[in-house]
């Protein structure tokens, strides 16, 4: 019996040892965690308030595993408020440092998840992207050198041409001299009426050509005059390099998220800076693709975000507003004359016109420019062609019924609704 007991105890010891070992190994594994999974979890759950290296709504998390006990971290993440209430000194300290704003509880994160996140947070800080900067410098240098070589080649070509001309002249001269020496005589060209005199004498030709000239002149003058004040393609430099391509294109932000007035107002509204800060409170650096040819590097974009912070008075380090703001003086691109009344909400909300119809492929514009000519002819053209969107709009029901009877058509253009009348836009 005893023996058995003994054996039993041995096996138990073994079993316990194994279990311990297993446990230890799992916990060892846990301690290591999976930084890749951790990154995913971090971005999904934590990134709204935390950054690894920078203080945001919450503290910077790099090296967080060294600062706190693991168990403390589990508890904190699962329910920080309870810890603060219980009076845990560390918890209270954090809570107070961040102005008494409690951290959202994440009971859904398992301890393993948390370990993964910690693993990600414990990764050493990557070296700054030196090569990228180097690449830019190289690109710049390359650009510079290519410009230089072009000039050299051009100069060489000019020189070669010059030499050729001189040589030709010399050869001609030499040949003439040889010919003279050999007694060959040149045929003297017969003296003819100069062509311009002949032209002047032919009155019909003068008449026709002057009419033609006048017509051509008028055509070009008209063309020139008609584009006075038409600023199609106007692409001014803005005080902050705001890329619609990144916002509307890459990140697929809806136009009306920022230009919300377009739904209800005559102006689309240039977003006020507090709208920018809805996202940029957290997005403080650019991590997307770079356009090295134009010098749009990550640092460049991050610098532009800094300009925003300066304008809105945001202290990114302390995560608070300083109260010192300076409004951004954007350069207005689309300038309708004062005597035209244009209402965005009519087109955006009622007619459901896509912004791109007038503003062009904004989501591809790195720098915003005026896409449409914004001339009256352009407006009228669209009003003639576009059918009014009447479905489901009670306002139009009666009018639609009457008008479709009158014109004998089901669909009605804006023009048929009276959108070509002067007073609809000019008052």
- Which residue ranges make up the site for another protein (CB under 8 A)? 228-229, 231, 236, 261, 264-267, 269-275, 311-313, 325-332, 335, 337-339, 341, 343, 345-346, 349-350, 392-399, 402-403, 406, 417-418, 421-424, 426-427
DSSP-assigned letter for residue 413 = B
Report, in Å, the least distance between residue 98 CB and another protein. Answer: 23
Secondary structure in 3-state letters for 56-88: CCCCCCCCHHHHCCHHHHHHHHHCHHHHHHHCC
- Report in angstroms how near the CB of residue 349 gets to another protein at its nearest: 5
289 or 326: CB nearest another protein: 326
Q: How far is the CB of 279 from another protein (least distance, A)?
A: 16
- Rounded least distance, CB 348 to another protein, Å: 10
Q: To the nearest whole angstrom, how small is the minimum distance from the Cβ of residue 426 to another protein?
A: 4
Radius of gyration of the chain (CA): 38
Q: Pick the closer one to another protein by CB: 69 or 326.
A: 326
CB of 273 to another protein, least distance (A): 5
Q: Which is nearer to another protein, 67 or 329 (CB)?
A: 329
Q: Of the two residues 122 and 417, which places its CB atom closer to another protein in the complex?
A: 417
C-alpha separations of 164 from 49, 160, 362 in Å? 73, 6, 52
Q: Is 277 helix (H, G, I), strand (E, B) or coil?
A: helix
Buried/exposed code over 10-33 (b: 16+ C-beta within 10 A; e: otherwise):
eeeeeeeeeeeeeeeeeeeebeeb
- Of 40 and 306, nearer to another protein (C-beta) is 306
Q: What is the DSSP string of 189-200?
A: PP----HHHHHH
Question: Of the two residues 74 and 396, which places its CB atom closer to another protein in the complex?
Answer: 396
Question: Collapsing DSSP states into helix, strand and coil, what is residue 374?
Answer: coil
What is the rounded CA–CA span in Å between residue 199 and residue 125?
Answer: 83
d(CA 47, CA 51): 6
Q: Which is nearer to another protein, 121 or 388 (CB)?
A: 388
Query: For residue 240, which of 171, 322, 302 has the smallest C-alpha distance?
Result: 302
| 266 close to 342: Cβ distance less than 8 angstroms | yes
Select 95 or 309, whichever has its Cβ closest to another protein.
Answer: 309
Report, in Å, the least distance between residue 220 CB and another protein: 17
Minimum Å gap between C-beta 311 and another protein is 7
Least gap, CB of 350 to another protein (angstroms): 5
Q: How far is CA 67 from the centre of its chain?
A: 39
218 φ/ψ angles, rounded to the nearest 5 degrees: -60, -40
H or E, element range at 357: helix 355-359
CA distance 285 to 168: 64
336 closest CA partner among 414, 271, 270, 267: 267
Closer residue to another protein, CB minimum distance, 64 or 275 = 275
Residues linked to residue 387 through DSSP beta bridges, in sequence order: 413
Between 210 and 335, whose beta carbon lies closer to another protein?
A: 335
Taking the complex as a whole, how short is the minimal distance between the CB of residue 83 and another protein, in angstroms? 35
């Amino acid at each position: 019996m005893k023996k058995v007991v003994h054996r039993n105890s041995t096996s138990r010891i073994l079993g316990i040892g194994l279990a311990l070992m297993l446990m230890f190994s799992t916990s060892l594994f846990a301690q290591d965690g999976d930084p890749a999974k951790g990154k995913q979890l971090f971005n999904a759950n934590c990134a709204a308030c935390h950054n690894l290296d920078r203080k945001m709504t919450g503290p910077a998390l790099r090296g967080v595993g060294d600062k706190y006990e693991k168990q403390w971290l589990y508890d904190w993440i699962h329910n920080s408020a309870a810890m603060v209430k219980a009076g845990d000194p560390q918890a209270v300290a954090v809570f107070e440092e961040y102005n008494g704003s409690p951290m959202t509880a994440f009971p859904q994160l398992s301890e393993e998840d948390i370990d993964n996140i910690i693993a990600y947070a414990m990764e050493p800080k990557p070296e700054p992207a030196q090569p990228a900067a180097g690449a830019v410098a190289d690109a710049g240098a390359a650009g510079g050198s290519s410009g230089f070589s072009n000039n050299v080649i051009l100069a060489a070509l000019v020189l070669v041409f010059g030499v050729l001309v001189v040589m030709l002249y010399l050869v001609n001269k030499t040949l003439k001299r040889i010919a003279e020496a050999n007694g060959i005589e040149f045929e003297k060209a017969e003296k003819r009426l100069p062509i311009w005199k002949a032209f002047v004498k032919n009155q019909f030709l003068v008449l026709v050509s002057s009419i033609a000239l006048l017509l051509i002149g008028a055509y070009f003058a008209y063309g020139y005059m008609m584009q006075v004040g038409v600023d199609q393609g106007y692409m001014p430099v803005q005080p902050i390099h705001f890329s619609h391509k990144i916002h509307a294109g890459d990140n697929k932000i809806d136009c009306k998220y920022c230009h919300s007035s377009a739904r209800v107002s005559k102006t689309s509204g240039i977003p006020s800076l507090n709208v920018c800060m809805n996202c940029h409170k957290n997005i403080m650096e650019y991590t997307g693709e770079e356009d090295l040819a134009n010098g749009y590097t990550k640092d460049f974009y991050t610098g532009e975000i800094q300009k925003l912070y300066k304008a809105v008075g945001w202290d990114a380090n302390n995560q608070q507003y300083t109260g010192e703001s300076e409004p951004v003086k954007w350069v207005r691109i689309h300038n309708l004359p004062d005597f035209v009344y244009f209402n965005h909400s009519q087109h955006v909300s009622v007619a459901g016109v896509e912004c791109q119809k007038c503003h062009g492929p904004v989501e591809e514009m790195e720098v915003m420019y005026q896409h449409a000519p914004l001339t009256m002819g352009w407006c009228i053209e669209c009003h003639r062609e576009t059918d009014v969107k009447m479905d489901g709009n009670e306002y139009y029901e009666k009018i639609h019924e009457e008008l479709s009877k009158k014109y004998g058509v089901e669909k009605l253009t804006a023009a048929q609704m009276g959108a070509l009348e002067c007073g609809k836009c000019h008052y």
